[in-house]
Amino acid sequence: MSSMFRSAAQGGDSGGEHGGTYPDLPLPLTHGVGGIIGTTVYAGLGTAGQKFFALDLTQPNRVWTEVAAFPDPARDQAAAAVANGKLYVFGGIGKSTPEATTAVFHQVHVYDPGANTWAMLNTRVPREIAGGSAVTQGDRILLFGGVNRTIFDRYFEDMAAAGTDKDRRDTVTLAYFNQRPQDYRFSRDLQAYSPATNTWESLGVVPFAGRTGAALHLEGNILTVMNGELKPGLRTPAVHQGVVSPAGVTWRALPDLPPPAAGQVQEGLAGAYTGCSGGALLLAGGTNFPGSSAQFARGTLYAHQGLKKTWHTTVYALRGGRWSIAGQLPQAQGHGLSIQFGDEVLLIGGELPGGTASAKVISVQVKDGQLLTAR
């Protein structure tokens, strides 16, 4: 399929059921959370700190407005999903006080747009979800992936203890990154949370490696887990699909994500965007370290040592169990929010090359065999 990019400055329109262009966020946003309730998008946390913003997509002159701030310490890489008209936020990574070391949170918060209020629920995530993902299935929320709290917290405690001593900090860094993927104990648990009863259920352990930064998509009872990080700096191109039923989840492996171009290696992606358009499941953008899989295959556990983090523009499409390249994003980015709006996928914020955060909102849609984007 060919690719076409239309910018907002050119009066572009994504050509979809809703279509149009979208205003920039008031603040650059990466590693945040959000969701869509009705026709209003909510986004915040991450580089926005405790701030949250709303965008009513039905308004002819779309404008982001600030809503109630998150009530607890700011956090990155939380998971969020919408259920029964409210936004639920799980876990994340941050500091409980300015003096504290970085650590994994386990709380659950809920935002009520009708009252414009936040509340912390009387529960905690059974298996930490920092760096994981969440999707809504009916009246419950499914959560997958994330770091191991004990291992992750210990790394930051050791770094804090090393202070400004470079040799000690280098020793801590080497010890942390020079481990096998299984040593990080990234979560393999699929968890289900029911807001109506404030209860949790285990849907079992997945038959593939745990990961962080995976793209998660649910269509009906079909759950797709795409790529992600097997350990810090090492991604996987693997894709798995599960059928979620009352009897449990039945998994199968799908084809790996193909290379972005002939002669290149597909390292896999973390922080990629996902959603459906034109009858295809899309996976777009994301980050990796080219060369890391080769170094790991040669026995180098610190797989991304000396390599350069790379941000991507490729948009992949999955149809009938087969991947193809649908086109390119107008800019390389990852680690933002994916919002499904009709047949459009809205890419909200994200991390740009060099690690800076973006405030852009990009619409992606496949129509008549073309990838249309607008910003």
DSSP per residue, 8-58: GGGT----SSS----PPPSS---S-EEEEETTEEEEESGGGTT-EEEEETT
Distance from the first to the final alpha carbon of the chain: 21
Rounded Cα–Cα distance for residues 220 and 236 (Å):
25
Sequence-distant (6+) residues with CB within 8 A of 143 are 79, 90, 125, 129, 132, 133, 134, 190, 191, 192, 193
Q: Which of 128, 229, 267, 344 is catalytic?
A: 229
Report the alpha-carbon distance of residue 144 to residue 326 in Å, rounded.
27
Is 0.75 surpassed by the pTM of this model?
yes
**Residue 17: domain span:** 2-374
Pairing of strands 239-245, 234-235: unpaired
- Give me the residues of the chain with pLDDT under 70, please: 1-20
pLDDT at 60: 87
Q: What residues have CB less than 8 Å from 217, skipping those under 6 apart?
A: 135, 223, 224, 226, 274, 275, 276, 281
For residue 311, the 8-state DSSP code is E
Residue type at 240 in one-letter notation: H
The two three-digit tokens of residue 288, written as one number: 């990796």
Which residues does 101 contact at the CB level (< 8 Å), separation at least 6?
95, 153, 156, 157, 159, 160
Strands 370-374 and 2-6: parallel
8 Å CB contact between 88 and 110? yes
Residue 219 falls in the annotated catalytic set: no
The pLDDT of residue 1: 34
Give the DSSP H/E element, type plus range, for residue 117: strand 117-124
pLDDT of residue 12: 32
Residue 175's CATH number: 2.120.10.80
CA distances from 105 to 73, 212, 248 (A): 10, 15, 28
**Number of compact structural domains in the chain:** 1
pLDDT at 375: 78
